[in-house]
Amino acid sequence: MNTRFAVAVHILTLLESNAGEPATSEWIAGSVNTNPALIRRQLRELAKAGLTRSQMGPGGGALLARPAERITLVDVYRAVTEDSDIIPIHESPNPNCPVGRTIQACLEQRFQAAEQALENELGRTTIADLLSSISSFECEA
Amino acid sequence: MNTRFAVAVHILTLLESNAGEPATSEWIAGSVNTNPALIRRQLRELAKAGLTRSQMGPGGGALLARPAERITLVDVYRAVTEDSDIIPIHESPNPNCPVGRTIQACLEQRFQAAEQALENELGRTTIADLLSSISSFECEA
DNA sequence: CTAATGTGTAACTAATATAGTCACATAATG
DNA sequence: CATTATGTGACTATATTAGTTACACATTAG
């Protein structure tokens, strides 16, 4: 897997921390420490998933499309992973071998169950939870 | 992630299906449909994790190091992933931003919980379970 | 001893994925 | 219409991954 999931969560947390003010890709890129164009590409994915929306022009930028309390990590996860499996299975095992012929279907079943468990756990945290974790961390420090 | 986990499970299932007879890397490679040297590299990892052992010379090959009933998918998973995280976090966010400064620690916590859930689910299946799934699949067909 | 069989492993290549960058068209605002 | 900001295509550099070759070393049988 790539770091797009982590970056996407970072972006959404930033948007929530910005209290309804549109955030420019340049400002976000400054916090993530990368390129604005990269951020805009990520925002495109998040917008497609209905998690953010963007306003063009001066004073524009990105906003959460719905309350942070109603965006969980699994929403973000699905937005960035699309349909690709997180645990890939090797291609073209030998069809003349009983194990080779059947292993993919068996693995797919087990791996999907495992990924489902991962998604369930991700569904327990919202962007709002994350921001409050960050806030309390900041207060301690 | 890469397909090494899937291949490793394939290998172990093959070893179990071979009923205690040493399996050569060439035979295993025939079922996985890849190169014997690749299989030997994987077997090295599995041996290091205590899941297999190998005998050199004629009549040699790889064997399970313990009963298939006592090898779960999470054992294999840990053998191939070592300590690398399955959900990576982006490096070097901006330390001058409250969110950037703290996001990594927060993400790590949540991602680890999710990976733990995935591992728990993987722990519910043994290599013996997999082989019997395959066998029953073969009988139906 | 030695020929044959098989593992262990280093070195290399090709293909793919990933992150990053640049340039510019397009849209909105005042 | 000048400015600000997004949307997006094209490109590059780097890392990861899978695959391949070659050969040293271990074991067994004859």
Task: Give tens-digit pLDDT for B12-40.
Answer: 999 999 999 999 999 999 999 999 999 99
- Beta partners for residue A126, in sequence order: A72
Q: Which of B89, B92, B118 sits opposite A115 (nearest CB)?
A: B118
Dihedral sign computed on CA atoms, order A42, A48, A110, B12: negative
Closest C-alpha to B109, from A71, A134, A114, A31: A134
Contact status of B127 with chain A (Cβ, < 8 Å):
no
Percent of chain B with pLDDT over 70: 99
Query: For the residues A91-114, what does the mean pLDDT come to?
Result: 97
Instruction: List CB-based contacts (under 7 A) with strand D.
Output: A 23-26, 36-37, 40-41, 43-44, 47, 54-62, 88, 90; B 1-4, 34-38, 55-60
Flag if A134 and B92 touch (Cβ within 8 Å): no
> pLDDT, tens digit, for every residue of B27-76?
999 999 999 999 999 999 999 999 999 999 999 999 999 999 999 999 99
Alpha-carbon gap: A120 to the closest alpha carbon of chain B (Å): 8
CATH of domain B4-140: 1.10.10.10
Q: Are A137 and B122 in contact (CB under 8 A)?
A: no
Domain limits, chain B: 4-140
Strand D: which nucleotides have any atom within 7 A of a protein Cβ? Answer: 3-10, 16-22, 25-29
| Interatomic distance B84 CA / D16 C1' (Å) | 13
> pLDDT, tens digit, for every residue of A66-90?
999 999 999 999 999 977 789 999 9
Q: Are B64 and A100 in contact (CB under 8 A)?
A: no
Instruction: Kindly tell me if the per-residue pLDDT of B127 is higher than 80.
Output: yes
The answer as to CATH 1.10.150.110 being correct for domain A4-84+126-140 is: no
Instruction: Kindly tell me if the per-residue pLDDT of A107 is higher than 90.
Output: yes
User: How does strand A52-55 pair with strand A61-64?
Assistant: antiparallel
Select from B64, B77, B86, B90 the residue whose CB has the most chain A CBs within 10 Å, as the one to mutate to test that interface. Answer: B90
Alpha-carbon gap: B71 to the closest alpha carbon of chain A (Å): 15
Coil/strand/helix, residue A102? helix
Distance CA B81, CA B17 (A): 25
pLDDT value at position B141? 58
